[in-house]
Chain A
Amino acid sequence: GAVVSQHPSRVICKSGTSVKIECRSLDFQATTMFWYRQFPKQSLMLMATSNEGSKATYEQGVEKDKFLINHASLTLSTLTVTSAHPEDSSFYICSANYILRAGTYEQYFGPGTRLTVT
């Protein structure tokens, strides 16, 4: 399967600071990546769809000015949590679409970033 990496795997920051998380497709190009958030013992929540070369599409209830997404190349998308607060502490996971052949694709996840805001 295709490989997606995320960096950093863990980050601890102080309240009010910003944190950037990188998501890379290592062995394929991904025009579309997705950002999810998962709180303990809860299901995945899609935050936004990141499209290369265009603005991200945010899910309802997700603050686009707080969660900045940039998809600058076919292999890299970044999520910046601005002015982080303790309630932003969560497990952030990205995924990328890998096109198998025309008409079919698979979505692969990165290993996730655990953010703790103190």
Chain B
Amino acid sequence: QKEVEQNSGPLSVPEGAIASLNCTYSDRGSQSFFWYRQYSGKSPELIMFIYSNGDKEDGRFTAQLNKASQYVSLLIRDSQPSDSATYLCAVNMGHTGTASKLTFGTGTRLQVTL
């Protein structure tokens, strides 16, 4: 079992729709969770992080965390063609506050169609 799992996609959604990206992780002790966006040929860009169970909203993005189910998701409302990219889920499997490494999923490719 991979430590951080994502569906590779592509996930295709029409412009204006909600895109839902999912991620599961294996280490129940994981403390912090991050979503990155990576355009082709570019480095990852941090979109959101979440530490506590529940929802966290930032503009069109909402991160959802359910530690009991070991599940974290990213919702993108009003999807735009510029949102087309690969979305990486990353998990810090150490304790919050330590500068420990992140474990990345393989990413989900999102395509927003006109």
Interface presence of B104 (CB below 8 A): yes
Nearest CB in chain B: distance from A38 CB, A? 9
CB-nearest residue of chain B relative to A33? Answer: B99
Interface presence of A54 (CB below 8 A): no
Indicate if the CB atoms of A112 and B43 lie closer than 8 Å: yes
Indicate if the CB atoms of B106 and A104 lie closer than 8 Å: no
The residues of B that contact A91 with a CB separation of less than 8 Å are 41
Nearest CB in chain A: distance from B47 CB, A? 10
What number of B residues sit within 8 Å (CB to CB) of A?
Answer: 22
Binding stretch for chain B, among A14-22, A43-51, A81-89:
A43-51
Nearest CB in chain B: distance from A61 CB, A? 15
- Interface residue SS majority, chain B: loop
Indicate if the CB atoms of B46 and A108 lie closer than 8 Å: yes
A107 to B45 Cα, complex, angstroms: 10
Q: How many A-B residue pairs have CB under 8 A?
A: 48
The residues of B that contact A34 with a CB separation of less than 8 Å are 101-102
Q: Range of interface residues on chain A?
A: 20 to 34
The residues of B that contact A46 with a CB separation of less than 8 Å are 101-102, 104
Q: Assuming A43-B105, A104-B51, is B44 touching A109 (CB within 8 A)?
A: yes
Indicate if the CB atoms of A106 and B46 lie closer than 8 Å: yes
A105 to B33 Cα, complex, angstroms: 11
Q: Assuming A109-B43, A109-B44, is B107 touching A104 (CB within 8 A)?
A: no
A106 to B97 Cα, complex, angstroms: 10
26 contacts between A and B (CB under 8 A): A1-B46, A31-B99, A32-B99, A34-B101, A34-B102, A43-B106, A44-B44, A44-B88, A46-B101, A46-B102, A46-B104, A49-B101, A102-B97, A103-B96, A103-B97, A104-B96, A104-B97, A105-B99, A106-B46, A106-B49, A107-B90, A108-B46, A109-B43, A109-B44, A111-B42, A112-B42
Q: Taking beta carbons and an 8 Å cutoff, which residues of B are in contact with A?
A: 32, 34, 36, 41-46, 49, 51, 88, 90, 96-97, 99, 101-102, 104-107
